[in-house]
Amino acid sequence: MKEVRSDQRVQAGETPVPRSGVLRTVTRGIMPASVTVGEGPFAGSSGGSFEVRPSDSLLGNIDIEAVLASVPEFHAVKGMFFNALAATLGERFTQVVATLSSPPRGGLYLPFSDYPMRDFLRLYDAAARLSHPNRSSREAYRRLARQQVSAFRESALGRITMHLATDPGAALMRYTGSLGALTKGPTARARQLGPSEVQIDISGYRGVLEYPLGNFEALVMGYGAKPTVAVEVRSTDALRFVVSW
């Protein structure tokens, strides 16, 4: 009989490691709405955890209606991020507008005004699927999130915030510190664990975890470094990211 090493055994309730993923177990019940149970590189008794690099593709698709149902009505995002999505959608923007609760007057969002996060997620879902039609929606969300960092960098607040960020650690710390001015609802806190490692905790978050994941990857990659991100789903509205490079 062929010997099976301990690292090859699959316990009851576990999902085998996908080629593009890293870990296994998915505990049902406290995963965020963006997670498709049984798909993708998730593991961990606390609800879900995985470690990923830019070359790893996320598996599984997102049920956007389930995500929207979990987002509180008062959660909001600044208009600068909406305009970037509208530009990505092009002519399709008019189709999505009909589904929004607060469509922009004249088709243009005011950069520093607050708009519903639910509307942002509807636009984001459409833009991600349009931009990356051959990817899983989870991977499409993540890739579009990398592009969204550019919208922040090019804004007046972004230029001021990132001006003195000379390395990935400083960029992650400064970006996380600015999130309170960019969104309403979620809160974020970052601390540097070492010269090439930052831990970011997000609470009160009901969006999709692929969005901050892509943001943090883009901030590190902007300095020519290669990030590794360990993600832990701590509860239905709390995430922890440990970013190293």
Which CATH number does the domain housing residue 211 bear? 3.90.1520.10
Inside any domain, residue 1:
no
Inside any domain, residue 224:
yes
Inside any domain, residue 109:
yes
Inside any domain, residue 193:
yes
Inside any domain, residue 35:
yes
Predicted model pTM: 0.81
Distance CA 169, CA 191 (A): 9
Inside any domain, residue 159:
yes
Question: Range of 10's domain?
Answer: 6-244
Provide the total of helices (H) and of strands (E) in the chain, helices listed first: 8, 8
Position of tokens 């990356």?
132
Residue 197 tokens read as 């490692």
pLDDT 10s digit of each residue in the chain, 245 long? 333 222 333 333 333 333 334 333 333 233 344 544 444 444 333 458 899 999 999 999 999 999 999 999 999 999 989 999 999 999 999 999 999 999 998 889 998 999 999 999 999 999 999 999 999 999 999 999 999 888 778 777 778 878 889 999 999 999 999 898 899 999 999 999 999 999 999 999 999 999 999 999 999 999 999 999 999 999 999 999 999 99
Bridge-based pairing of strands 183-184 and 76-78 is antiparallel
Among the residues of the chain, which ranges form H helices?
64-70, 79-89, 93-97, 117-131, 137-153, 156-162, 168-182, 210-221
Total domains in the fold of the chain: 1
Inside any domain, residue 12:
yes
Inside any domain, residue 195:
yes
